[in-house]
Amino acid sequence: IMDLSPHNSLVRYLVGHGHTVFMISWHNPTADDRELGLDDYLHEGVMCAFDTIRARMPGRKVNAVGYCLGGTLLSIAAAAYEHDQRAYLNSITLLAAQTDFSEAGELMLFIDESQVAWLEDLMWQQGYLDNRQMAGAFRLLRSNDLVWSVAVSHYLLGERAPMTDLMAWNADTTRMPYRMHSDYLRKLFLNNDLFSGRYRVNGRPIALSDVHVPVFAVATMTDHVAPWRSVYKVHLMSHCDVDFVLASGGHNAGIISEPGRPGRRYYTATHHRGDRYTDPDKWIALADEKPGSWWPEWEAWLGRVSPGGMVPASAVEGSLGAAPGRYVLER
């Protein structure tokens, strides 16, 4: 989703402003991956990526970005790194990512002990949560937009909207392995272990209050997956500066919101370490409202928090082929 088309590619935008970009592509699990847990995604995904970047660009810190569940994993990694003193991170950016799941919106209608137990039984049989089951839950959260209006336009009126890159991406759903999805639902949604200081990495509990690097957090106004007031609780990470942006649009289109797209706007304000907490309703009343895309605001922030200037580009060893690369196609 970060690199769908030239005109709205966040990767192209960053590279065009002089940033070196590394990106993780999610593997679509099969029944053979049933025992991959949340810790495997953390260590073999996020942390392994940092090790790889460190080897390729020694001595450089990373401005790390995580989107949705990727942002939750990034916040876990950031807290864990504060324990082992590996100075990988210069800053973290969380896009539509929740760290406190106590008020996670309408999705909580599908998540209680009985529902999770039923899902675990289902995933135990097939080894993963099927993409159709996950997509169905998200469609129900916005049934007027994603179910009934589609039924009316397609089947009653015979009208079909032209396909766009975001629509194609949204239709290309993914699965989640049994162990990882069970960990996610129980440890984060049901028990809220991360925000409560009970989540363990390498046997040691971590706390988001340990994160000291600057944070840039983006929420979107009509997000039905990560409601903006839930994302806003990132302000309770008390030992770091937080630049918070509330952008127009939803979970996908509010993030992939390139400069020049008409009708876009966003609110922004900075919470400095030591400032008193401001509730979300008061925050939006006091925040600056700006027209256009939030991308330039973020790019300017990256420049402010990134000392050392530009780094000359280096040759890529072992080509992945034409975009999106063989890895994405699992070849």
User: Is 240 a catalytic site residue?
Assistant: no
DSSP structural state of residue 161: P
The CA distance from 186 to 43, in Å, is 19
Catalytic hit among 36, 46, 65, 68: 68
Nearest to 259 by CA among 17, 63, 57: 17
How remote is the C-alpha of 126 from its chain's centroid? 27
The separation between the first and the last C-alpha atoms of the chain, rounded to the nearest angstrom, is 20
225 touches 96 (CB < 8 A): yes
Structure tokens at 260: 């020049």
CA distance 106 to 179: 24
Q: What is the C-alpha to C-alpha distance for residues 289 and 267, in angstroms, rounded to an integer?
A: 4
> CA–CA separation, 102 vs 90, rounded Å?
29
Reading the block at residue 240, the tokens are 């770091």
Measured between alpha carbons, how far is 121 from 129 in angstroms, rounded to an integer? 10
Active site residues: 68
